[in-house]
Structure 1
Amino acid sequence: MRTPRKIAVVAHQRKTLDGGLDELRRRITGAGVDDLIWHEVPKSRKAPKKVRSALENDPDLLVVWGGDGMVQRTLDVVAGSKTPVAIIPAGTGNLLATNLGIPHDLEQAVDIAFNGRRRRIDLGKLAGEHFGVMAGVGFDGAMIHDADRKMKDRLGKLAYVWTGLRHVNGEAATARITVDGVKWFDDEASCVLIGNVGTITGGIKAFDDAEPDDGWLDVGVATAQGALQWARALGTMAVGRSDRSPFVRTTRARHIDVKLQTKMEYELDGGARTKTKRFTAAVQPGAVKICVPRQ
């Protein structure tokens, strides 16, 4: 594959991987690029402005350095453009990278950026924002909200386990879910997930048959309440198919409408958002091109 001649980098300053941003710059410039556009941000929500600025220069490749939040903010801007995106997974969960086979290794990730294949994948869209991994409300949203940046820096993935244990006894909320115009669920739910890929927070295989380029979003509802039922549900996910648990129900759709009895926090790709009583999600087929390993 021809080396991209113009590279744009948008990087989260507080994220680290191997030799850090200095090593990333060395490896990119060592590949013989003609033009390097470089942006750094102190937090992921500052990324969209820099991504838009980078795209105005029409780069051959956009490299995003950071975790799931940084990737989500970047893809939200890139969606619908022709520019391919290379992910350097420098965060805690790195869920989209993991689902796409991009390793937590700087040398290998940069090699994939230059020599990997370009895979066009779907994105979900909820409340005007695109997401690549998942959207969630209930147990999931509360867990993400409590696992703040400082805790994730100290504990890594264990931050989600720790905060998750604090929410297993949370109250369930009545949820009415419509998929592609048909009522699918109307009962108490402790968690509602909408996924674009199979593996979610904590390495849990929530959607066994999900593919990021199949033109569908997967939908899951957990009805487990209390530590015992959650242990049974998560245990089933760990050793078999998630939909074999009596506390889990899944389907897939292109358009999902969720109405809650009470306001609850939701999250997108590991980033906490505001409380809401209703939201709609829809698939955006083939919205972005991502650099992935050659297979």
Structure 2
Amino acid sequence: MPSIPTLFRGLLNERIINVFRTSEVTRLDLGPSLSEEGGLNLGGRAVWNVFTRPHSFLFLSELSFSNTPVLDMDLVKLVGLPRLAVLILKNTGICDEGVFHLTALKLTLTHLDLSQNPCITDDAIPALCLCITSKLRFLGLVGTSIGMPGLRRMAKLIQKEERIVDVEIPEVCELYIDNIPNIYLMQPQPPLITSPALCSRLSAAALQRNLKAHAEVANKLQSTGGAEAVSANMFGGGTKGEMCRRLRDLLVQREVDLVVWGMIYGYEEADGVTWTGKDDKVKYLEAQAAAREAHKRLR
């Protein structure tokens, strides 16, 4: 019995769920049963109690609560599911607290969809990182309030752990990442540098030369309407120390943004790989793997 019969879809109250809890059910969609249409499904929340009973759903690997209200504390009741690999919490209203409760499932979760939950913010990143370092291969974050600072932290961990994780990100972050080739000088040629650690070794003239090269990219972006991405004023004059600090800050930001770009898209320049989207999963995963080697060259 891979899943509960379609006959019961939308009618899975506590009594019916309890009948199946010791069976070999592997897939369960509780969204239709728990949705509060017209506020009439008053007993729907009792379904959660079934998950806390001994020997419940020992074979369950896929569970969905999509498009139905879920409280953060409800998720604590899922920690006894020993084989749960796919968890869909799309548009459930959970917050950062709920994400932290999910870390108890990190040893089995491979697919976690948190999309359309705007109360999930960068504060949930430590919990997501714990899941990433284990088995997670897909993470849906579209429609959350995760920002670029959170994505940068997550991408650095994925690179460090040499993991391949398919991450669907919020639209505002995707717009920023798509614009990265227009924000930074992508492949500086010597004597221009890419390592922030080298900034202190440069002369004032060399610092100015590096800043000017990046300023040309920023000015071009501003002239085409992308003024909010990078302010060209940061590339002005000043003392050697000030120029060194500005260049170091720029290169540090560039370095971590390239890590995020590689996490999401891979690099089109990597080993001749040309790839224009994430629709083809195989090409996407190949591009991510190639991104690690390309990132070493870009640095």
TM-score norm. by structure 1 comes to 0.28
Q: Which has the larger radius of gyration?
A: 2
Alignment TM-score, normalising by the size of structure 2? 0.28
Give the helix-richer structure, 1 or 2.
2
Which of the pair has the greater relative contact order for Cα pairs under 8 Å at 6+ separation?
Answer: 1
